[in-house]
Amino acid sequence: MTSEVIFETRGKSGVITLNRPEALNALTLNMVRLIKPVLAQWAQDDDIENIVIEGAGEKGFCAGGDIRALHDWGKSGAPEATGFYREEYQLNHMIKHFPKPYIALIDGITMGGGVGVSVHGRYRVASPRTLFAMPESGIGLLPDVGGTYFLPRLAGETGAWLVLTGARLKAGDAFAAGVASHYMASEALENLKADLAEGGDVEAILDAHHQAPDGVTLPDQQGDIDRLFQGQSVLEILAALDADASEWAQKQAKAVRSKSPTSAAVALRQMREGIHADFDDCLRIEMRAVTRIMALGDFYEGVRATIIEKDGAPVWSPATHEAVTRQQIDDIFAPLGDAELQF
């Protein structure tokens, strides 16, 4: 049986290959459990100077978590429904605090769980195949895996815009936003890995391979993003978008209204709280929220509409952004007591 993760030592590099190309390398609980002990071992190995993580195949670095498995666990009341997130967030924590350079080659689709195993590392290398998004509010989930920390620290209101609309960034804009630290052609990645295997100054190696990306449009939109997504509630943001006659603003309003109203409110609160919290506390916030979200109906409805029946017509509850109350969101973010996330 082919392993879902391949581990190799190449010179001074410890190389992790996510190996589910048929599923765009979507992260499973087994993969999380395979990666954690190897990273712990490599952290102590003096012969390993840097870590490289990549995805098998040409389409996806990692397209997210194994959503169908989470749906089925949640429906059956299995402990893995929240246990997966607990172990995944512990892996995100390990990556964020890893003592050696950690280089993610985001050469393909990078979403959800794939963001969690890439953006918290010291370096993220984009390529022309990169496509970045946090689309969780479209399936009744939340932008987790450390997104509460990482996303509000992007330029201006980029984080709020991404989580409320599910907007996708191609390589140039992923670099402009700060998601990627470097950019190069996909064909150049083998030479990069060879140089990293030789050891030495990782940043200097990456800088030597870096190329200026094309197709950068985000800076032209930044003013509108910051102006229209600065509200403290989803309703404020929708009001600002509705008041703007531009085609771009109307497209964003339509996107926000298509998302789970509960998930949108949760995601915006993550952005507003996360900017003031440290990384570990952001993961704790996410553990609280995802535990409650998995007990609600929107996630299961979102997966039904998107992945199972694929009718693209989820019926959210509450059905409108106006119907979501502050108390409902407060309850989602309430502490878990003895079940708080531990590292």
Active site residues: 65, 113, 136, 144
Residue of 209, 246, 207, 208 lying closest to 227 (CA atoms) = 246
Q: Determine the Cα angle at 306 with ends 303 and 309, to 5°.
A: 90
Question: Do residues 298 and 260 make contact, with C-beta atoms less than 8 angstroms apart?
Answer: yes
The 8-class DSSP code of residue 214 comes to S
* Cα R_g (the chain), whole angstroms: 20
Q: What is the DSSP string of 31-82?
A: HHHHHHHHHHHHHH-TT--EEEEEESSSSEEE--B-HHHHHHHHHHT-THHH
Question: Do residues 62 and 24 make contact, with C-beta atoms less than 8 angstroms apart?
Answer: yes
Neighbours of 244 (CB within 10 A): 16
In the numeric block, the tokens 């609980």 are attached to 29
